[in-house]
Every structure is written in C-alpha cells, then in structure tokens.
Chains A and B, each alone.
Chain A
Amino acid sequence: MNFWDKISSLDRRWIYLLVAIAVILPLIFPADFPVRITPEATQLYEAIEALPDSSVVLLTFDYYPSSTAETEPMSFAALHQLFRKDCRVFTMTTIPLGGPSIAERVTRTVAQEYGKQYGIDFVNLGYKANYVAVLKGMGTSIEAIYPTDNSGTPLAQLPMMQNIRNYKDVSFIFAVADNAIVEYWISIVNAQYGTPIGAGVTAVSAPKYYSFVSSGQMTGLLGGMKGAAEYEQLVSKPAIAMKGMGIQSLIHLLIIGLVLVGNIGYFFGKKKGTRGISV
C-alpha cells in the first residue's frame, strides 16, 4: 500500500474531525465576509419594495425545524422588510410539525420590534391538513378554509382579516419552504389566480426553481443560507445567516479539498476499485 492508497482509505473519523473543526473555528474566530447579491434575490427584494405601503402579504412557514438554519433567517429578514413598509402580514403553514409554533415565535419577535399589533398588523392562521385543497380553497374563501386563526379566534373578530377574502386581496405571497410546496404555490395560486410569488428555499431545492423565475411564474428566489445572507444584507439587518457564511465557506472549501485529495489518491493509488465503501 503506497502513500496515495493510504490517503484513499483514510479513516472517516479524521474527516468528521476536520468537519467539526471547520464548523467550530468560525464560531470562535468570527469574521465578516462580503456577500455578493444574486439577481434573483434582488428581484425578490425589489418586488416587495415596489408594493404600496400597507399592502396585504401572505408569508408562509412551510419548513420543518430541521432546516431552520437555512430558512428561518429568510423569514426574519422578510418580516423586517414587510413591517418596515407597514405591510399587513398574515402567515400560514402546510407543515404540521412545528410550522404554527415557528410562525408564531418568529412573527411575534419581529412584530415587537416594530410595535405591530396582532389582529391589526399581522395574523397567524396556523396549519390545515391537505395542502392542495388548502391552497386551492383559499382562492375562493380564506375564511372557509381557516374559520379561526391559530389560537382559535374567529377570523371575523380580527380587524385585519375582515377585508381579506381570498387571493384577490393579497398583493404578494412570500413562500419560505424546505420542500416541494413552492411548486404548488406556483401551479395552483400563481397560475390560476395570478398572485405574484417569491420564494426562499433550501440550497438543495433551489436549482429547480430557476426555471420558474426565468418564466416569470416566480418573482425572485433565495437559495439556502447564502440566499438568506443576501436578503439580510438587502434589508440591512445582518444576522445569523451572515454569521453562518464563514462556517459554510470553510465547509464548502473543505469538501472541495477532500474531493480533490480523494481523486488524486484514486489516480495515483494502486487500488482503483473502491465500490461498496462505507461513508
């Protein structure tokens, strides 16, 4: 076994250690990195900026707690921009596990900063099962699908919701999601009711949505933590996603380095057949 064979068969625990170091180092020694903003993020930001003040915006929390590192900063940044513009925001989720709680916590945190009142400036509709029917049904009547908000208060008792009957009364939908629900927002809501939709999604699902942005079915796109960092920069509220750029940079560079070393070992080593290896 030559040197490169040894490199190729490196114990995976060394790789885990390197990953741990790459995550921990930027936390101990934080550094600011300039984040270049993509045209898709700018498009989303400008679309919201172009809305008249006090417009009604639907912000969705279609993500599980597992992906909050990527998606939650987008929700925070979106609320900063929306409340700064005095938009009236109602939130909902198609995720039963945690969706309503995350929406409640995030919205109330930002609302407090801007002195917004529940029922007047923002409302949390919560979760309803069977998302296709929910998305379609809200096109006719939001109240028929959500007779009450997340706390059980009838929508008729919430001043903000009295003039919001269906999608015709909604100026913009900002979907933050970690799953394929954005496709349904596009195919059911944008295609059938014409409501403009912008989305923030996880990095792994972002490539799919470039075609929708290009066709005009989506108004802007944020992809992963980088997208969240871009949006934080756009709304001038640098927060957790901007801080995460150091960690993500090191991890990406580490993985690229590992791939390169692995391939050099593969070409210069004697053992070429490495099938069925454990990761």
Chain B
Amino acid sequence: MRTTVPVIIAFLSGIVMIVSFFFNPDRTILGQIESEVLVWVTIVGGFTLLLGVVSITRVNFRSVRLQKEGWFFNLLTLISIFVMAIPSILPVSWSPLFGDREGSIYDWLFTNVDSIMMQTMFGLLAFYIASAAYRAFRARNAEATILLLTAVLVMLWRVPMGEAFLRLFSDDLPQWINSYVMNGANMSVQRGIIIGAALGAASMSLRILLGIERTYMGKG
C-alpha cells in the first residue's frame, strides 16, 4: 500500500501533464485539471520548505542536546534560522519591524548579514581558483594543452585588457574566438551534452511514470 499509492499518484499526475499538453486549458476539462494540479504542486512545494525547516531543526537540535563535536555551530544554525524566520512570519500590523519589507528585522539581517556573507564566500573563490590554476593547470599531454590554450584565449577575450592584447595580433581575433570557439567548438559540445541530458531526463521520467524507478520513495 505504501508503495502502490505513490506510484499511482505519480502515474496519474504525469499522464495528466503529458496528455493535457495537447488540449486547450480554457476549453477542455483535461486542461482545467492540469491547471488545478499545477496549483496543488506549488502548494505542496510550500510545504516541502516547511518540512526542510523541521528537518534541519531536528538534526541540529539533536547535535546540540548531545553536545556532539562542533555543537556550537549547530546552535548558531538554529539561532540563525529562528532569528530570521520568526520576525518575518509575524504580521506587519503588529510592528513595522515584522514581515519582510524594507526596514524589517528580516530585511536588515538579509541585507547586512546574510547577503554579505554569501558574497564573501563567493568572492573567496577567486583566491582558490588562482591558486588551483597555478598548481594544477599543466600541459601534461596534447588534450590538456589544447584545453589550456583555449582557456587562455577565452579568458583574454572576456576582458577589455585581454581583448586589446589579442587585437595586437589581429583585429579580427576576438570575433574569431566568438565565432569559432564559443559559437563553434563550445556550442557543438554543449549541444551534445544538452541532448544527452534531455534524453536521460525523458527516460528517467518514463521509468518514474511506469513505476520502474522507485528510488524517490527510498526504495531501490
């Protein structure tokens, strides 16, 4: 029962979405069912966010209670979640500090703490990329050499100083990189990857619809 019902729901939902694609949503019952199902999906999506909060709270609370290694960071995570969430959930009519509008506690924390920390973490990548490129990007064989030369060309082409440098050799060189590297070699490889991934996604969807693939229910 615990397996059959989800498989039936997945099958019916998938079939409705596939078949309704061919019908006008305004004029057919099937199209209207599709619209209704899509609204349900967004509502279910909202509940999954809540489920995520419950899960992260449980996991971190357990670590704090048992004082596991690094429990202090678990405590910080819990405090962060609730300090951000509670004021944003409370109604604005109680205080202008509640809600998520400009001037609220949530907005202040997001702009001055959360956003800055995320940008800092992303910015640190520049240091690691520079160090990694210096130590690991070696022309060890023909393939690596081609990759290295292409990367150097594209990196030069993507910045004004580099582009000016390329123009010293030929005025058409930046345009050549755009036409033959980005819209040539890159594009053909990307198309292969995209088509391959789409075929994989289609076959996986079919396996889920037919109940062959059940890993999403925790079954092998």
Binding site for B on A (CB under 8 A): 10, 12, 15-16, 18-20, 23, 33-36, 38-39, 64-69, 96-98, 100-101, 104-105, 128-130, 132-134, 136-137, 140-141, 144-145, 151, 183, 192, 203, 207-208, 210-211, 214, 223-224, 226, 245, 248-256, 258-259, 261-263, 266, 274, 277, 279
Residues on B with C-beta less than 8 A from A214 are 183, 187
- A248 CA / B119 CA spacing, docked (Å): 16
With A19-B126, A101-B110 in contact, is A137–B42 under 8 Å at CB? yes
Say how far A240's CB is from chain B's closest CB, in angstroms. Answer: 13
Pairwise interchain contact B183-A210, C-beta atoms closer than 8 A? yes
Sample (22) of A-B pairs whose CB atoms are under 8 Å apart: A35-B160, A66-B118, A66-B121, A101-B107, A128-B46, A130-B41, A130-B45, A134-B42, A137-B35, A140-B31, A207-B186, A208-B190, A245-B159, A248-B158, A248-B159, A249-B161, A252-B159, A252-B161, A255-B134, A259-B133, A277-B136, A279-B132
- A35 CA / B157 CA spacing, docked (Å): 11
Closest B residue by C-beta to A102: B115
Stretch at the interface among B63-71, B75-83, B148-156: B148-156
Pairwise interchain contact A105-B158, C-beta atoms closer than 8 A? no
Closest A residue by C-beta to B21: A192
Residue with the highest number of chain B CB atoms closer than 10 Å, among A96, A137, A203, A254: A137
Closest 3 CB pairs of A and B: A130-B45, A129-B45, A137-B38
Pairwise interchain contact B127-A144, C-beta atoms closer than 8 A? no
B213 at the interface (CB under 8 A from A): no
Binding site for A on B (CB under 8 A): 17, 21, 25, 31, 34-35, 38-39, 41-42, 44-46, 48-49, 100-102, 107, 110-111, 114-115, 118-119, 121-123, 126-139, 148, 151-152, 155-156, 158-164, 174, 178, 182-183, 186-187, 190-191, 193-194
Main secondary structure of the interface of A (DSSP, over half): helix
Say how far A198's CB is from chain B's closest CB, in angstroms. Answer: 17
- A253 CA / B148 CA spacing, docked (Å): 14
Pairwise interchain contact B38-A145, C-beta atoms closer than 8 A? yes
Pairwise interchain contact B128-A279, C-beta atoms closer than 8 A? yes
Closest B residue by C-beta to A136: B38
Residues on A with C-beta less than 8 A from B107 are 101
Residues on B with C-beta less than 8 A from A132 are 41
